[in-house]
Structure 1
Amino acid sequence: MKIACLQFAPEMGKVQENIRRAEELLQKASIPTNLDWLILPELAFTGYNFQSLEEIKPYLEPTTSGISTQWAIQVAKHYKCHVTVGYPEITTTEPPTQYNSTVTVGPTGHILTNYHKTFLYYTDETWSAEGPTKFYSGPLGFLGQVTLGICMDINPYKFTAPWTDYEFCNAAIDSASPLVCVSMAWLAQLTPEELRDKPLEADFATVAYWVERFQPFVERAKERGEENSMPVVIVLANRCGMEKGVCYAGSSTVMRIDQNGVSLYDTLGKLEESVLIVDTTERPKYQVKSGK
């Protein structure tokens, strides 16, 4: 399977400019003719750090029919691949409800699923409702069984649930999903100066944290052994850059978990605007050492 993550630094509220930037990056990239899936970050074209419903209201998009969805449809048809993009949703029902969502479009431009973020980060809580359905697991076109999440979903619920609940990871295990995808606007615990130092190098502390949040997959693979273990591919599509003094970690990563542990197919730099393209039939570049 060929998977692409489009990592860039959208600016808050500059939707058309952000779309143009995304398209420039796609045009510069060597997109394979048989690409299967293109994934963009959380709230890809609006930016993320809105502090109230009033602030984000001008950028809310009706369910699967706004500018982000229309863009995804066009790009899916152009590359004949699946496309997943994050956007701020407002429902057309009464009363309307706002969600932090991703829409996934199939290669012919048809809507496959619209997912609402389940676990909200503090910033989301200022304007978004929790998704009514816990995560998404199900078939996505020819991608097969997939579990979808958005950023905070991989953390313990509200940071108050036990660390070892691993709600998102266990949901993916329970649904027997060999493919997991998380669109992100994940923050970095770095200063702007630290981000600019070696910008093409990943924030490995963040990558290590992501790996930790999928430990149940590692434990299950070891228990099952080589004969009974099915590899799991996990796609973490993050944004980069800064908003209102907040730094994002970049470092978009595609990893594999099997009986040998965790390996990384590849990762982008913490401040790198680029398209990460991975072929999961090839050997991952890096093996991750586990402390367990």
Structure 2
Amino acid sequence: MKIACLQFAPELGKVKENIARADEILKRSIVPINLDWLVLPELAFSGYNFHSLEEITPYLEPTTAGISTRWAIEVALHYKCHVTVGYPEVTTTEPKTQYNSTVTVNPSGVVVNNYRKSFLYYTDETWSSEGPSRFFSGQLGGLGQVTLGICMDINPYKFITPWTDYEFANAALNANSPLICVSMAWLCTLSPEELAQNPTQADFATVAYWVERFQPFIETAKEKGPVMIVLANRCGMEKTVCYAGSSTVIRIDASGVSLYETLGKAEEKCLIVDLNERPKFQVRSGR
């Protein structure tokens, strides 16, 4: 299976410009003709750092019927692959409700999933409701059994539940999902100056944190078998916040934790990984 993560730096509220930016990155990438899945970041085209419902309202999209879904359909048909993209959703039925969502389209251009973020970050809480069901695990088109999440989903609920509850990882583990995908707008603690230094180098502190949030898979790898984890993050800055980039695809199996490849912290690029190949870097050996 071949999976691509399109990492870029959308600007807040510049939807058309952000779409053009994503298109340009895809055009300059060597996208394989047998790509299975293209994954974009959380709120990919609207940008993320909205501070109120009033501020984000002009960019809300009707459920699986807005500009992000139309783009996903067009790209899915062009590359004959599944496409997942994050967008700010508003329901079309009363009472209207807003969600931080991802839509997934299959290679035939048919919407096969609309997932609503379960665990909200502080910024989400200013405009979004929690998804009505925790995470998503199930058959996702031709991709098989998959668990989907969005960014904060991998953290403890509201940062108040015990660290060791690992709600998202355990949900995926209990669902026997061999493939996990998380669309992200993950922040970092680096300054703008630090982001600009060695932009093609990953923020490995962030990557290490992500790995830790999947500890249940590390502990059960010998019994459960391998799992592939796709972490598709954005990069760049919005207002005063910096994003970590560092999109990566992880394999956890009996031999330990390995990275297929990782993008840089400020790199705008399409990361393409073949899950049938051997990961490039081992970061933790098995027990």
TM-score w.r.t. the length of structure 1 is: 0.97
Q: Which of 218, 236, 253 lines up with 2:248 in the alignment?
A: 253
Q: Which residue is 2:193 aligned to?
A: 193
Deviations 1:47-106 (A, max 9, x none): 000000000000000000000000000000000000000000000110100000000000
Per the alignment, residue 231 of structure 1 pairs with 226
SS in 1 for 2:142: helix
Structure 1 residues 1-292: aligned runs within 5 Å: 1-222=1-222, 224=223, 229-289=224-284
Per-residue CA deviations over 1:198-230 (Å, capped at 9, x if unaligned) read: 1100000000000000010000114x2xxxx42
CA deviation after TM superposition for structure 1 residue 289, in Å: 2.6
Per-residue Cα deviation, 1:126-148 (whole angstroms, up to 9, x for no partner): 00000001000000111000000
Note if contact 2:137-2:175 (Cα within 8 Å) is conserved in structure 1. Answer: yes
| Cα deviations by residue, 1:94-127 (Å, 9 ceiling, x for unpaired) | 0100000000000000000000000000000000
Give me the whole-angstrom Cα distance separating, in 2, the residues matched to 1:130 and 1:141.
Answer: 25
- Is the Cα–Cα contact under 8 Å of residues 256 and 286 in structure 2 kept in the other structure? no
Q: Secondary structure at the match of 1:120?
A: coil
Q: Distance in 2 between matches of 1:74 and 1:197?
A: 36
Matched position secondary structure for 1:176: coil
Number of residue pairs matched by the alignment? 287
How far has the Cα of 1:261 moved from its partner? 1.1
Structure 2 distance, partners of 1:144, 1:36, is 11
Equivalent position amino acid for 2:54 in 1? E
User: Given residue 71 of structure 2, which amino acid in structure 1 is its aligned partner?
Assistant: W
TM-score after normalising by structure 2: 0.99
**2: distance between equivalents of 1:281 and 1:23?**
27
> SS where residue 263 of structure 1 aligns?
strand
Contact kept, 8 Å, 2:73 with 2:109, in 1: the verdict is yes
Equivalent-residue separation in structure 2 for 1:163 and 1:189 (angstroms)? 20
Q: Are the structure 2 counterparts of residues 61 and 257 from structure 1 closer, same or farther at C-alpha, using a change threshold of 3 Å?
A: same
User: Any conservation in 1 of the 2:236–2:243 contact (CA below 8 Å)?
Assistant: yes
CA distance in 1, matches of 2:142, 2:72: 17
CA contact (8 A) 2:41 2:185 kept: yes
Instruction: Give the distance between the partners of 1:92 and 1:245, measured in 2 at CA.
Output: 33
Give the RMSD, CA atoms, in angstroms: 1.0
Give the superposition deviation at 1:156. Answer: 0.1
Displacement after TM superposition at 1:291 (Å): 11
- Structure 1 CA distance for aligned equivalents of residues 15 and 221 of structure 2: 42
Taking the aligned partners of 1:177 and 1:77, their CA distance within structure 2 comes to 26
Gaps of 5+ in 2: none
Distance 1:238 1:144 in 2: 23
Contact 2:257 2:286 in 1 (8 A): no
Distance 1:50 1:213 in 2: 26
Q: Which runs of 5+ in 1 are unaligned?
A: none
